[in-house]
A and B are shown apart, each in its own frame.
Chain A
Protein backbone atom coordinates (compact mmCIF):
# COMPACT_ATOMS: atom_id res chain seq x y z
CA UNK A 1 0.00 0.00 0.00
CA UNK A 2 2.93 2.34 0.71
CA UNK A 3 4.03 1.66 -2.82
CA UNK A 4 0.76 2.86 -4.30
CA UNK A 5 0.68 5.99 -2.14
CA UNK A 6 4.27 6.90 -2.94
CA UNK A 7 3.60 6.09 -6.58
CA UNK A 8 0.58 8.41 -6.66
CA UNK A 9 2.58 11.28 -5.13
CA UNK A 10 5.43 10.78 -7.61
CA UNK A 11 2.87 10.60 -10.40
CA UNK A 12 1.59 14.06 -9.55
CA UNK A 13 5.13 15.45 -9.55
CA UNK A 14 6.24 13.58 -12.67
CA UNK A 15 3.12 14.46 -14.71
CA UNK A 16 3.70 18.20 -14.56
CA UNK A 17 7.45 17.89 -14.90
CA UNK A 18 7.11 15.62 -17.90
CA UNK A 19 4.54 17.86 -19.57
CA UNK A 20 6.86 20.86 -19.24
CA UNK A 21 9.86 18.83 -20.41
CA UNK A 22 7.84 17.67 -23.39
CA UNK A 23 7.33 21.18 -24.77
CA UNK A 24 10.47 22.95 -23.50
CA UNK A 25 13.10 20.13 -23.55
CA UNK A 26 14.84 21.20 -20.38
CA UNK A 27 14.88 19.93 -16.79
CA UNK A 28 12.79 22.46 -14.91
CA UNK A 29 14.32 22.32 -11.42
CA UNK A 30 11.99 25.12 -10.26
CA UNK A 31 9.20 22.54 -10.47
CA UNK A 32 10.41 21.33 -7.05
CA UNK A 33 9.62 24.60 -5.34
CA UNK A 34 6.12 24.73 -6.79
CA UNK A 35 5.36 21.48 -4.97
CA UNK A 36 6.35 23.13 -1.70
CA UNK A 37 4.66 26.41 -2.59
CA UNK A 38 1.33 24.59 -2.99
CA UNK A 39 1.54 23.15 0.51
CA UNK A 40 2.46 26.46 2.12
CA UNK A 41 -0.15 28.46 0.22
CA UNK A 42 -2.83 26.20 1.66
CA UNK A 43 -1.15 26.44 5.05
CA UNK A 44 -1.46 30.21 4.86
CA UNK A 45 -5.00 30.35 3.43
CA UNK A 46 -6.57 27.48 5.35
CA UNK A 47 -4.70 27.00 8.62
CA UNK A 48 -3.72 30.61 9.29
CA UNK A 49 -6.39 32.73 7.60
CA UNK A 50 -9.19 30.22 8.16
CA UNK A 51 -10.43 29.85 4.59
CA UNK A 52 -12.49 26.69 4.09
CA UNK A 53 -10.75 23.47 3.16
CA UNK A 54 -11.93 23.08 -0.43
CA UNK A 55 -11.71 26.78 -1.41
CA UNK A 56 -8.28 26.87 0.22
CA UNK A 57 -7.03 23.90 -1.77
CA UNK A 58 -8.54 25.22 -5.01
CA UNK A 59 -6.97 28.65 -4.47
CA UNK A 60 -3.64 27.01 -3.62
CA UNK A 61 -3.62 24.97 -6.83
CA UNK A 62 -4.57 27.99 -8.95
CA UNK A 63 -2.01 30.29 -7.34
CA UNK A 64 0.79 27.81 -7.90
CA UNK A 65 -0.29 27.47 -11.50
CA UNK A 66 -0.10 31.25 -11.91
CA UNK A 67 3.32 31.27 -10.23
CA UNK A 68 4.54 28.67 -12.72
CA UNK A 69 3.21 30.71 -15.62
CA UNK A 70 4.91 33.84 -14.26
CA UNK A 71 8.22 31.98 -14.00
CA UNK A 72 7.87 31.09 -17.67
CA UNK A 73 7.00 34.67 -18.64
CA UNK A 74 9.75 36.28 -16.58
CA UNK A 75 12.58 33.84 -17.23
CA UNK A 76 12.11 30.86 -19.50
CA UNK A 77 10.31 32.56 -22.39
CA UNK A 78 13.13 35.10 -22.54
CA UNK A 79 15.75 32.36 -22.54
CA UNK A 80 13.82 30.52 -25.25
CA UNK A 81 13.87 33.62 -27.41
CA UNK A 82 17.64 33.84 -26.92
CA UNK A 83 17.92 30.15 -27.87
CA UNK A 84 19.72 29.42 -24.62
CA UNK A 85 21.01 25.86 -24.16
CA UNK A 86 19.10 23.43 -21.97
CA UNK A 87 21.87 23.67 -19.36
CA UNK A 88 21.39 27.44 -19.02
CA UNK A 89 17.64 26.87 -18.62
CA UNK A 90 18.36 24.23 -15.98
CA UNK A 91 20.67 26.52 -14.00
CA UNK A 92 18.20 29.42 -14.26
CA UNK A 93 15.44 27.20 -12.89
CA UNK A 94 17.78 26.10 -10.10
CA UNK A 95 18.16 29.77 -9.16
CA UNK A 96 14.37 30.15 -9.01
CA UNK A 97 14.14 27.09 -6.77
CA UNK A 98 16.74 28.44 -4.37
CA UNK A 99 15.31 31.94 -4.21
CA UNK A 100 11.68 30.84 -3.67
CA UNK A 101 12.66 28.10 -1.24
CA UNK A 102 14.59 30.63 0.85
CA UNK A 103 11.65 33.03 0.67
CA UNK A 104 9.26 30.34 1.91
CA UNK A 105 11.65 29.55 4.77
CA UNK A 106 11.84 33.26 5.67
CA UNK A 107 8.06 33.61 5.78
CA UNK A 108 7.07 30.32 7.38
CA UNK A 109 10.24 29.30 9.26
CA UNK A 110 12.50 26.41 8.43
CA UNK A 111 10.66 24.03 10.75
CA UNK A 112 8.18 21.30 10.06
CA UNK A 113 4.56 22.31 9.38
CA UNK A 114 1.56 20.13 8.97
CA UNK A 115 -1.66 20.96 7.21
CA UNK A 116 -4.68 20.11 9.31
CA UNK A 117 -8.41 20.31 8.94
CA UNK A 118 -9.38 16.72 8.32
CA UNK A 119 -10.25 16.31 12.03
CA UNK A 120 -7.86 15.56 14.85
CA UNK A 121 -7.82 11.81 14.40
CA UNK A 122 -7.82 11.01 10.70
CA UNK A 123 -10.52 8.65 9.57
CA UNK A 124 -9.13 5.38 8.37
CA UNK A 125 -10.32 2.77 5.94
CA UNK A 126 -9.34 -0.77 5.27
CA UNK A 127 -8.44 -1.67 1.72
CA UNK A 128 -7.28 -5.22 1.01
CA UNK A 129 -6.36 -5.61 4.67
CA UNK A 130 -4.20 -2.49 4.80
CA UNK A 131 -5.19 0.51 6.90
CA UNK A 132 -5.09 3.83 5.06
CA UNK A 133 -6.10 7.31 6.16
CA UNK A 134 -8.63 9.49 4.44
CA UNK A 135 -5.93 11.69 2.93
CA UNK A 136 -4.09 8.68 1.57
CA UNK A 137 -7.26 7.64 -0.23
CA UNK A 138 -7.41 11.17 -1.64
CA UNK A 139 -3.79 10.86 -2.80
CA UNK A 140 -4.48 7.61 -4.64
CA UNK A 141 -7.63 9.03 -6.21
CA UNK A 142 -5.80 12.19 -7.26
CA UNK A 143 -2.97 10.18 -8.80
CA UNK A 144 -5.35 8.24 -11.01
CA UNK A 145 -7.85 10.97 -11.85
CA UNK A 146 -5.29 13.66 -12.70
CA UNK A 147 -3.51 11.23 -15.04
CA UNK A 148 -6.78 10.36 -16.74
CA UNK A 149 -7.87 13.98 -16.98
CA UNK A 150 -4.56 15.09 -18.42
CA UNK A 151 -4.59 12.27 -20.96
CA UNK A 152 -8.08 13.36 -21.98
CA UNK A 153 -7.04 16.99 -22.39
CA UNK A 154 -3.96 16.07 -24.40
CA UNK A 155 -5.73 13.61 -26.68
CA UNK A 156 -9.13 15.21 -27.18
CA UNK A 157 -8.73 18.97 -27.27
CA UNK A 158 -7.32 21.56 -29.65
CA UNK A 159 -4.98 22.66 -26.89
CA UNK A 160 -3.72 19.10 -26.54
CA UNK A 161 -2.98 18.88 -30.26
CA UNK A 162 -1.04 22.13 -30.05
CA UNK A 163 0.96 20.77 -27.11
CA UNK A 164 1.78 17.64 -29.10
CA UNK A 165 2.85 19.71 -32.07
CA UNK A 166 5.18 21.84 -29.94
CA UNK A 167 6.50 18.70 -28.27
CA UNK A 168 7.42 17.30 -31.69
CA UNK A 169 9.03 20.47 -32.97
CA UNK A 170 8.52 23.95 -31.59
CA UNK A 171 9.85 25.61 -34.74
CA UNK A 172 7.42 23.84 -37.04
CA UNK A 173 4.54 24.44 -34.63
CA UNK A 174 5.21 28.17 -34.75
CA UNK A 175 5.41 28.17 -38.52
CA UNK A 176 2.01 26.51 -38.89
CA UNK A 177 0.50 29.30 -36.80
CA UNK A 178 0.43 27.99 -33.24
CA UNK A 179 1.05 30.70 -30.64
CA UNK A 180 3.76 28.63 -28.98
CA UNK A 181 4.56 31.09 -26.19
CA UNK A 182 0.93 31.19 -25.09
CA UNK A 183 0.55 27.40 -25.22
CA UNK A 184 3.81 26.87 -23.32
CA UNK A 185 2.60 29.38 -20.74
CA UNK A 186 -0.57 27.29 -20.24
CA UNK A 187 1.55 24.15 -20.00
CA UNK A 188 3.54 25.79 -17.20
CA UNK A 189 0.25 26.70 -15.54
CA UNK A 190 -1.10 23.14 -15.70
CA UNK A 191 2.18 21.46 -14.81
CA UNK A 192 2.87 23.70 -11.84
CA UNK A 193 -0.72 23.47 -10.60
CA UNK A 194 -0.49 19.66 -10.57
CA UNK A 195 2.79 19.91 -8.65
CA UNK A 196 1.07 22.27 -6.22
CA UNK A 197 -1.74 19.75 -5.70
CA UNK A 198 0.90 17.12 -4.97
CA UNK A 199 2.51 19.40 -2.38
CA UNK A 200 -0.84 20.10 -0.73
CA UNK A 201 -1.60 16.40 -0.40
CA UNK A 202 1.90 15.75 0.98
CA UNK A 203 1.29 18.55 3.49
CA UNK A 204 -1.87 16.84 4.76
CA UNK A 205 -0.31 13.38 4.78
CA UNK A 206 3.18 13.76 6.21
CA UNK A 207 3.79 17.54 6.54
CA UNK A 208 5.86 20.27 4.95
CA UNK A 209 9.46 21.43 5.07
CA UNK A 210 10.68 24.38 2.96
CA UNK A 211 13.71 22.41 1.78
CA UNK A 212 11.88 19.24 0.72
CA UNK A 213 11.25 20.36 -2.87
CA UNK A 214 14.59 19.33 -4.31
CA UNK A 215 14.42 15.70 -3.22
CA UNK A 216 10.77 15.34 -4.26
CA UNK A 217 11.59 16.83 -7.63
CA UNK A 218 14.51 14.44 -8.11
CA UNK A 219 12.05 11.61 -7.51
CA UNK A 220 9.73 13.13 -10.08
CA UNK A 221 12.57 13.42 -12.59
CA UNK A 222 13.58 9.83 -11.90
CA UNK A 223 10.00 8.67 -12.45
CA UNK A 224 9.81 10.65 -15.71
CA UNK A 225 13.07 9.28 -17.06
CA UNK A 226 12.46 5.64 -16.17
CA UNK A 227 8.93 5.89 -17.55
CA UNK A 228 10.04 7.75 -20.68
CA UNK A 229 10.73 11.49 -20.64
CA UNK A 230 8.04 13.42 -22.47
CA UNK A 231 5.40 10.70 -22.25
CA UNK A 232 2.58 11.25 -19.75
CA UNK A 233 1.67 7.62 -19.26
CA UNK A 234 5.35 6.84 -18.93
CA UNK A 235 5.67 9.30 -16.08
CA UNK A 236 2.84 7.62 -14.17
CA UNK A 237 4.17 4.14 -14.85
CA UNK A 238 7.67 5.17 -13.80
CA UNK A 239 6.27 6.73 -10.62
CA UNK A 240 4.69 3.49 -9.44
CA UNK A 241 7.77 1.47 -10.36
CA UNK A 242 9.88 3.96 -8.40
CA UNK A 243 7.56 3.69 -5.39
CA UNK A 244 7.88 -0.09 -5.54
CA UNK A 245 11.68 -0.13 -5.79
CA UNK A 246 12.04 2.39 -2.97
CA UNK A 247 9.91 0.31 -0.67
CA UNK A 248 11.85 -2.81 -1.58
CA UNK A 249 15.00 -0.84 -0.74
CA UNK A 250 13.54 0.17 2.63
CA UNK A 251 12.45 -3.37 3.49
CA UNK A 252 15.68 -4.98 2.29
CA UNK A 253 18.08 -2.49 3.95
CA UNK A 254 16.61 0.32 6.05
CA UNK A 255 14.73 3.61 5.74
CA UNK A 256 17.96 5.52 5.15
CA UNK A 257 18.47 3.84 1.80
CA UNK A 258 15.18 5.06 0.27
CA UNK A 259 16.69 7.90 -1.76
CA UNK A 260 19.81 5.98 -2.71
CA UNK A 261 17.77 3.06 -4.10
CA UNK A 262 15.70 5.52 -6.15
CA UNK A 263 18.83 6.90 -7.81
CA UNK A 264 20.35 3.48 -8.21
CA UNK A 265 17.26 2.65 -10.27
CA UNK A 266 17.64 5.87 -12.29
CA UNK A 267 21.26 5.17 -13.11
CA UNK A 268 20.56 1.56 -14.08
CA UNK A 269 17.76 2.72 -16.39
CA UNK A 270 19.86 5.42 -17.98
CA UNK A 271 22.66 2.96 -18.65
CA UNK A 272 20.58 0.16 -20.07
CA UNK A 273 17.37 1.74 -21.27
CA UNK A 274 17.95 5.49 -21.52
CA UNK A 275 14.63 6.18 -23.23
CA UNK A 276 12.63 4.68 -20.39
CA UNK A 277 9.92 2.06 -20.46
CA UNK A 278 7.60 3.80 -22.91
CA UNK A 279 10.11 6.13 -24.57
CA UNK A 280 10.48 6.17 -28.30
Chain B
Protein backbone atom coordinates (compact mmCIF):
# COMPACT_ATOMS: atom_id res chain seq x y z
CA UNK B 1 0.00 0.00 0.00
CA UNK B 2 2.76 2.35 0.98
CA UNK B 3 4.32 1.60 -2.38
CA UNK B 4 1.18 2.68 -4.25
CA UNK B 5 1.03 5.85 -2.18
CA UNK B 6 4.66 6.56 -3.06
CA UNK B 7 3.85 6.17 -6.75
CA UNK B 8 0.80 8.39 -6.37
CA UNK B 9 2.91 11.17 -4.79
CA UNK B 10 5.35 10.93 -7.69
CA UNK B 11 2.45 11.10 -10.12
CA UNK B 12 1.10 14.30 -8.57
CA UNK B 13 4.52 16.00 -8.61
CA UNK B 14 5.37 15.00 -12.20
CA UNK B 15 1.89 15.97 -13.31
CA UNK B 16 2.29 19.47 -11.88
CA UNK B 17 5.55 20.01 -13.78
CA UNK B 18 3.95 18.52 -16.89
CA UNK B 19 0.75 20.56 -16.75
CA UNK B 20 2.66 23.79 -16.14
CA UNK B 21 5.12 23.12 -18.96
CA UNK B 22 2.21 22.24 -21.21
CA UNK B 23 0.85 25.77 -20.73
CA UNK B 24 4.12 27.11 -22.10
CA UNK B 25 4.93 24.56 -24.82
CA UNK B 26 1.60 23.00 -25.71
CA UNK B 27 -0.70 26.01 -25.51
CA UNK B 28 1.60 28.87 -26.44
CA UNK B 29 4.17 27.14 -28.65
CA UNK B 30 7.19 28.33 -26.67
CA UNK B 31 9.74 25.52 -26.64
CA UNK B 32 11.06 25.99 -23.15
CA UNK B 33 13.77 23.50 -22.17
CA UNK B 34 14.59 25.15 -18.87
CA UNK B 35 11.61 24.08 -16.78
CA UNK B 36 13.74 22.11 -14.31
CA UNK B 37 15.61 25.33 -13.48
CA UNK B 38 12.52 26.75 -11.81
CA UNK B 39 11.67 23.40 -10.30
CA UNK B 40 15.19 23.46 -8.84
CA UNK B 41 14.79 27.00 -7.51
CA UNK B 42 11.61 25.92 -5.69
CA UNK B 43 13.29 22.78 -4.36
CA UNK B 44 16.32 24.68 -3.08
CA UNK B 45 14.25 27.44 -1.49
CA UNK B 46 12.23 24.90 0.46
CA UNK B 47 15.25 22.80 1.39
CA UNK B 48 17.19 25.82 2.67
CA UNK B 49 14.31 27.45 4.54
CA UNK B 50 13.30 24.19 6.21
CA UNK B 51 16.79 23.05 7.21
CA UNK B 52 18.46 26.36 8.08
CA UNK B 53 15.67 28.62 9.31
CA UNK B 54 13.09 26.07 10.41
CA UNK B 55 10.43 27.96 8.48
CA UNK B 56 7.02 26.50 7.65
CA UNK B 57 6.46 24.61 4.40
CA UNK B 58 3.79 26.90 2.99
CA UNK B 59 6.02 29.87 3.75
CA UNK B 60 8.85 28.23 1.79
CA UNK B 61 6.57 27.45 -1.15
CA UNK B 62 5.45 31.07 -1.24
CA UNK B 63 9.02 32.35 -1.18
CA UNK B 64 10.16 29.80 -3.80
CA UNK B 65 7.33 30.87 -6.09
CA UNK B 66 8.20 34.51 -5.50
CA UNK B 67 11.89 34.02 -6.31
CA UNK B 68 10.89 32.08 -9.40
CA UNK B 69 8.59 34.91 -10.40
CA UNK B 70 11.59 37.26 -10.48
CA UNK B 71 13.93 34.74 -12.14
CA UNK B 72 11.38 33.66 -14.76
CA UNK B 73 10.54 37.26 -15.54
CA UNK B 74 14.21 37.99 -16.20
CA UNK B 75 14.76 34.83 -18.27
CA UNK B 76 11.45 35.28 -20.04
CA UNK B 77 12.30 38.82 -21.10
CA UNK B 78 15.43 37.57 -22.83
CA UNK B 79 13.60 34.57 -24.30
CA UNK B 80 10.76 36.72 -25.65
CA UNK B 81 13.19 37.85 -28.36
CA UNK B 82 13.30 34.34 -29.83
CA UNK B 83 10.93 31.77 -31.23
CA UNK B 84 10.82 28.11 -32.22
CA UNK B 85 14.17 26.34 -32.33
CA UNK B 86 16.20 29.35 -31.21
CA UNK B 87 13.91 29.62 -28.19
CA UNK B 88 14.69 25.97 -27.42
CA UNK B 89 18.45 26.42 -27.67
CA UNK B 90 18.60 29.65 -25.65
CA UNK B 91 16.39 28.14 -22.94
CA UNK B 92 18.76 25.17 -22.82
CA UNK B 93 21.54 27.70 -22.29
CA UNK B 94 19.69 29.16 -19.32
CA UNK B 95 19.25 25.74 -17.81
CA UNK B 96 23.03 25.20 -17.82
CA UNK B 97 23.53 28.61 -16.20
CA UNK B 98 21.05 27.91 -13.37
CA UNK B 99 22.68 24.51 -12.87
CA UNK B 100 26.12 26.15 -12.65
CA UNK B 101 24.86 28.67 -10.08
CA UNK B 102 23.39 25.92 -7.86
CA UNK B 103 26.57 23.86 -8.22
CA UNK B 104 29.06 26.66 -7.62
CA UNK B 105 27.35 28.84 -5.02
CA UNK B 106 28.88 26.62 -2.34
CA UNK B 107 28.11 28.95 0.56
CA UNK B 108 24.40 28.77 -0.06
CA UNK B 109 23.72 25.43 -1.72
CA UNK B 110 26.64 23.28 -0.50
CA UNK B 111 27.40 22.58 -4.18
CA UNK B 112 27.49 19.01 -5.43
CA UNK B 113 27.10 17.54 -1.94
CA UNK B 114 23.50 18.63 -1.93
CA UNK B 115 21.28 19.26 1.07
CA UNK B 116 20.40 16.36 3.37
CA UNK B 117 17.68 15.95 5.92
CA UNK B 118 15.02 18.24 4.51
CA UNK B 119 12.12 17.68 6.92
CA UNK B 120 8.64 16.67 5.88
CA UNK B 121 6.25 19.53 5.45
CA UNK B 122 4.09 20.72 8.30
CA UNK B 123 0.95 22.53 7.27
CA UNK B 124 -1.15 24.56 9.70
CA UNK B 125 0.73 23.05 12.63
CA UNK B 126 0.12 19.50 11.48
CA UNK B 127 3.23 17.52 10.58
CA UNK B 128 2.87 15.24 7.52
CA UNK B 129 5.08 12.39 8.68
CA UNK B 130 3.61 9.47 6.75
CA UNK B 131 3.51 9.18 2.98
CA UNK B 132 -0.28 9.02 3.09
CA UNK B 133 -0.39 12.42 4.81
CA UNK B 134 1.98 13.81 2.23
CA UNK B 135 -0.15 12.43 -0.56
CA UNK B 136 -3.04 14.55 0.65
CA UNK B 137 -0.89 17.67 0.47
CA UNK B 138 0.53 16.88 -2.98
CA UNK B 139 -2.93 15.94 -4.24
CA UNK B 140 -4.23 19.29 -3.05
CA UNK B 141 -1.47 21.02 -5.03
CA UNK B 142 -2.21 18.80 -8.02
CA UNK B 143 -5.92 19.59 -7.99
CA UNK B 144 -5.35 23.33 -7.57
CA UNK B 145 -2.82 23.31 -10.44
CA UNK B 146 -5.19 21.35 -12.67
CA UNK B 147 -8.04 23.79 -12.13
CA UNK B 148 -5.82 26.83 -12.58
CA UNK B 149 -4.61 25.35 -15.88
CA UNK B 150 -8.14 24.55 -16.96
CA UNK B 151 -9.27 28.04 -16.05
CA UNK B 152 -6.39 29.60 -17.99
CA UNK B 153 -6.85 27.59 -21.19
CA UNK B 154 -10.62 28.12 -21.26
CA UNK B 155 -10.39 31.84 -20.58
CA UNK B 156 -10.10 34.52 -23.22
CA UNK B 157 -6.45 34.82 -22.19
CA UNK B 158 -5.98 31.14 -23.04
CA UNK B 159 -7.59 31.60 -26.45
CA UNK B 160 -5.10 34.35 -27.22
CA UNK B 161 -2.29 31.98 -26.22
CA UNK B 162 -3.53 29.33 -28.64
CA UNK B 163 -3.84 31.94 -31.36
CA UNK B 164 -0.25 33.04 -30.74
CA UNK B 165 0.81 29.42 -31.07
CA UNK B 166 -0.86 29.11 -34.45
CA UNK B 167 0.07 32.47 -35.95
CA UNK B 168 1.75 35.08 -33.83
CA UNK B 169 1.99 37.71 -36.56
CA UNK B 170 -1.75 37.59 -37.17
CA UNK B 171 -2.51 38.02 -33.46
CA UNK B 172 -0.20 41.03 -33.37
CA UNK B 173 -2.06 42.60 -36.28
CA UNK B 174 -5.24 42.40 -34.21
CA UNK B 175 -3.54 44.67 -31.72
CA UNK B 176 -2.54 42.21 -29.03
CA UNK B 177 0.79 42.74 -27.33
CA UNK B 178 1.95 39.14 -27.81
CA UNK B 179 5.18 39.64 -25.87
CA UNK B 180 3.14 40.40 -22.76
CA UNK B 181 1.05 37.24 -23.19
CA UNK B 182 4.05 35.03 -23.78
CA UNK B 183 5.88 36.46 -20.81
CA UNK B 184 2.83 36.08 -18.54
CA UNK B 185 2.34 32.41 -19.36
CA UNK B 186 6.06 31.64 -19.14
CA UNK B 187 6.24 33.16 -15.66
CA UNK B 188 2.99 31.52 -14.51
CA UNK B 189 4.05 28.07 -15.68
CA UNK B 190 7.48 28.45 -14.14
CA UNK B 191 5.98 29.42 -10.77
CA UNK B 192 3.93 26.20 -10.79
CA UNK B 193 7.12 24.24 -11.46
CA UNK B 194 8.69 25.90 -8.40
CA UNK B 195 5.82 24.67 -6.22
CA UNK B 196 6.34 21.14 -7.58
CA UNK B 197 10.05 21.43 -6.72
CA UNK B 198 9.15 22.45 -3.15
CA UNK B 199 6.97 19.36 -2.79
CA UNK B 200 9.73 17.15 -4.14
CA UNK B 201 12.40 18.49 -1.78
CA UNK B 202 10.20 18.02 1.25
CA UNK B 203 9.04 14.57 0.15
CA UNK B 204 12.41 13.04 -0.74
CA UNK B 205 14.37 14.90 1.93
CA UNK B 206 17.54 15.23 -0.15
CA UNK B 207 18.34 17.38 -3.17
CA UNK B 208 21.44 18.21 -5.18
CA UNK B 209 21.99 20.46 -8.22
CA UNK B 210 21.04 17.65 -10.62
CA UNK B 211 17.34 18.36 -9.88
CA UNK B 212 17.74 21.38 -12.14
CA UNK B 213 20.14 19.79 -14.64
CA UNK B 214 19.90 20.05 -18.40
CA UNK B 215 18.85 16.41 -18.61
CA UNK B 216 16.04 17.00 -16.17
CA UNK B 217 14.73 19.89 -18.27
CA UNK B 218 14.91 17.82 -21.45
CA UNK B 219 13.15 15.01 -19.64
CA UNK B 220 10.21 17.20 -18.62
CA UNK B 221 9.99 18.42 -22.21
CA UNK B 222 10.01 14.89 -23.61
CA UNK B 223 7.33 13.69 -21.18
CA UNK B 224 4.79 16.27 -22.22
CA UNK B 225 5.44 15.59 -25.89
CA UNK B 226 4.88 11.87 -25.31
CA UNK B 227 1.58 12.54 -23.53
CA UNK B 228 0.36 15.14 -25.94
CA UNK B 229 0.76 18.89 -26.42
CA UNK B 230 -2.05 21.35 -25.91
CA UNK B 231 -4.38 18.92 -24.15
CA UNK B 232 -5.10 19.18 -20.41
CA UNK B 233 -4.85 15.43 -19.94
CA UNK B 234 -1.75 14.90 -22.10
CA UNK B 235 0.77 15.63 -19.32
CA UNK B 236 -1.10 13.26 -16.97
CA UNK B 237 -0.75 10.51 -19.56
CA UNK B 238 2.94 11.40 -19.92
CA UNK B 239 3.38 11.16 -16.15
CA UNK B 240 1.70 7.74 -16.09
CA UNK B 241 4.04 6.55 -18.83
CA UNK B 242 7.01 8.00 -16.98
CA UNK B 243 6.08 6.10 -13.82
CA UNK B 244 4.84 2.82 -15.31
CA UNK B 245 7.83 2.21 -17.57
CA UNK B 246 10.43 1.91 -14.78
CA UNK B 247 8.00 -0.07 -12.64
CA UNK B 248 7.41 -2.46 -15.54
CA UNK B 249 11.14 -2.84 -16.16
CA UNK B 250 11.64 -3.58 -12.49
CA UNK B 251 9.89 -6.93 -12.97
CA UNK B 252 12.62 -7.99 -15.38
CA UNK B 253 14.99 -7.95 -12.43
CA UNK B 254 17.70 -5.93 -14.16
CA UNK B 255 20.28 -3.89 -12.25
CA UNK B 256 19.10 -0.33 -11.62
CA UNK B 257 21.63 1.30 -13.93
CA UNK B 258 20.80 -1.05 -16.82
CA UNK B 259 17.08 -0.53 -16.48
CA UNK B 260 17.61 3.25 -16.32
CA UNK B 261 19.49 3.11 -19.63
CA UNK B 262 16.86 0.84 -21.21
CA UNK B 263 14.28 3.43 -20.18
CA UNK B 264 16.24 6.23 -21.83
CA UNK B 265 16.62 4.10 -24.93
CA UNK B 266 12.86 3.53 -25.08
CA UNK B 267 12.10 7.24 -24.50
CA UNK B 268 14.46 8.16 -27.32
CA UNK B 269 12.99 5.65 -29.75
CA UNK B 270 9.41 6.54 -28.87
CA UNK B 271 10.18 10.23 -29.24
CA UNK B 272 11.68 9.83 -32.71
CA UNK B 273 8.88 7.48 -33.77
CA UNK B 274 6.27 9.97 -32.56
CA UNK B 275 7.88 12.78 -34.55
CA UNK B 276 7.68 10.58 -37.63
CA UNK B 277 4.08 9.44 -37.19
CA UNK B 278 2.30 11.63 -34.66
CA UNK B 279 4.21 14.82 -33.78
CA UNK B 280 1.47 16.15 -31.50
CA UNK B 281 1.98 13.28 -29.04
CA UNK B 282 -0.52 10.62 -27.99
CA UNK B 283 -3.56 12.78 -27.20
CA UNK B 284 -2.15 16.15 -28.26
CA UNK B 285 -3.98 18.88 -30.11
CA UNK B 286 -1.01 20.95 -31.17
CA UNK B 287 1.37 19.90 -33.90
CA UNK B 288 4.59 21.92 -33.64
Interface residues of A (CB under 8 A from B): 26-27, 75, 78-79, 84-92, 94-103, 105-106, 110, 211, 214-215, 218, 221-222, 225, 253-254, 256-257, 259-260, 262-264, 266-267, 270-271
In the complex, A254→B104 CA distance in Å? 9
Which residues on A sit within 8 Å (CB–CB) of B265? 98-99, 102-103, 106
Q: Please judge, given known A-B contacts A99-B272, A106-B262, whether A263 and B84 are in contact too, CB under 8 Å.
A: no
Whether B288 contacts A88 by the Cβ 8 Å rule is yes
A75 touches B82 (CB 8 A): no
- Contact status B268-A102, CB under 8 Å: yes
Alpha-carbon gap, A78 to B279, bound state (A): 13
Known: A94-B222, A271-B78. A27 touches B269 (CB 8 A): no
Q: How far is the CB of B101 from chain A (nearest CB, A)?
A: 7
Instruction: Give chain B nearest CB distance to A8 CB in angstroms.
Output: 22
- Bound-state Cα–Cα, A228 to B273, Å: 32
Top 9 A-B pairs, shortest CB-CB distance: A99-B268, A98-B268, A95-B271, A95-B272, A263-B93, A260-B100, A92-B275, A102-B264, A102-B265
Of B89, B263, B272, which contacts A92 at CB under 8 A?
A: B272
Cβ-defined contact, B96 with A91, below 8 A: no
Query: Does B270 lie within 8 Å of A95, measured CB to CB?
Result: yes
> Which one of A102, A105, A110, A266 has the greatest number of beta carbons of chain B within 10 Å?
A102
Whether A84 pairs with B85 at a CB distance below 8 angstroms is no
Most chain B CB neighbours (cut-off 10 Å) among A85, A91, A110: A91
Tell me how far the C-beta of B42 lies from the nearest C-beta in chain A, rounded to whole angstroms.
20
Instruction: State A75–B264 Cα separation when bound (angstroms).
Output: 19
B180 adjacent to chain A (CB < 8 Å): no
- A269 vs chain B, min Cβ distance (A): 10
Is there contact, CB below 8 Å, between A102 and B275?
no
Establish whether residues B89 and A27, one from each chain, have CB atoms under 8 Å apart when the complex forms: yes
Residues of B within 8 A of A99 (CB): 264-265, 267-269, 272
Q: Is B233 in the interface zone, CB < 8 Å from A?
A: no
Contact A94 B85 (CB under 8 A): no
Of the residues A90, A259, A271, contact of B100 by C-beta under 8 Å: A259
Q: Verify B84–A86 contact, CB threshold 8 A.
A: yes
Q: In the complex, A264 Cα to B261 Cα: how many Å?
A: 31
CA distance A215 to B213 in the complex (A): 11
Residue of B261, B268, B275 near A97 (CB, 8 A) is B268
New A-B contacts (17) at CB < 8 Å, excluding given A26-B85, A222-B93, A263-B96:
A27-B88, A27-B89, A85-B84, A87-B31, A87-B84, A91-B271, A94-B218, A94-B222, A95-B274, A99-B267, A110-B257, A214-B215, A254-B104, A259-B100, A267-B93, A270-B82, A271-B81
- B→A interface (CB under 8 Å): 31, 78, 81-82, 84-86, 88-90, 92-94, 96-97, 100-101, 103-104, 214-215, 218, 222, 225, 257-258, 261-265, 267-276, 279, 288
Q: Which residues of A contact B104 (CB under 8 A)?
A: 253-254, 256-257
Q: How far is the CA of A94 from the CA of B88 in the complex (A)?
A: 12
Closest CB in chain B relative to A76 CB, distance in Å: 10
CB distance from A263 to the nearest CB of B (A): 4
Q: Cβ of A98: which chain B residues have Cβ within 8 Å of it? A: 222, 264-265, 267-268, 271
A106-B261, A271-B81 given; A91·B86 CB < 8 A? no
Determine the distance from Cα of A266 to Cα of B100 in the docked complex, in whole angstroms.
Answer: 15
User: Which residue of B is nearest A258, CB measured?
Assistant: B100
Q: Report A22 CB to chain B, min CB distance, Å.
A: 15
Instruction: Find chain A residues with CB under 8 A from B263 CB.
Output: 102
Distance from B85 Cβ to chain A, minimum over Cβ atoms (Å) = 5
Q: Which of A79, A94, A105, A215 contacts B261 (CB 8 A)?
A: A105
Q: Which residues of B contact A222 (CB under 8 A)?
A: 93
Contacts A214-B214, A256-B104, A263-B94 known; A92 to B262 CB distance under 8 Å?
A: no
Q: How far is the CA of A54 from the CA of B2 in the complex (A)?
A: 58
Contact between chains at B222 and A87 (CB < 8 Å): no
CA distance A26 to B288 in the complex (A): 14
Could you give 22 example pairs across A and B, Cβ below 8 Å? A27-B88, A75-B272, A88-B275, A91-B279, A92-B275, A95-B270, A95-B273, A97-B268, A102-B262, A102-B265, A103-B261, A103-B265, A106-B258, A110-B257, A211-B215, A214-B214, A218-B214, A221-B89, A266-B90, A267-B93, A270-B90, A271-B78
Q: How far apart are the CA atoms of A96 and B265 in the complex, in Å?
A: 9
| Interfacial chain A residues near B258, Cβ < 8 Å | 106
Do the beta carbons of A256 and B262 come within 8 Å of each other? no
Contact with B272, one of A87, A96, A106, A218 (Cβ below 8 angstroms): A96
- The smallest beta-carbon distance between A174 and chain B, in angstroms, is 22
Residue of B nearest to A229 (CB): B86
Please state if A79 and B276 are interface contacts (CB–CB under 8 Å): yes
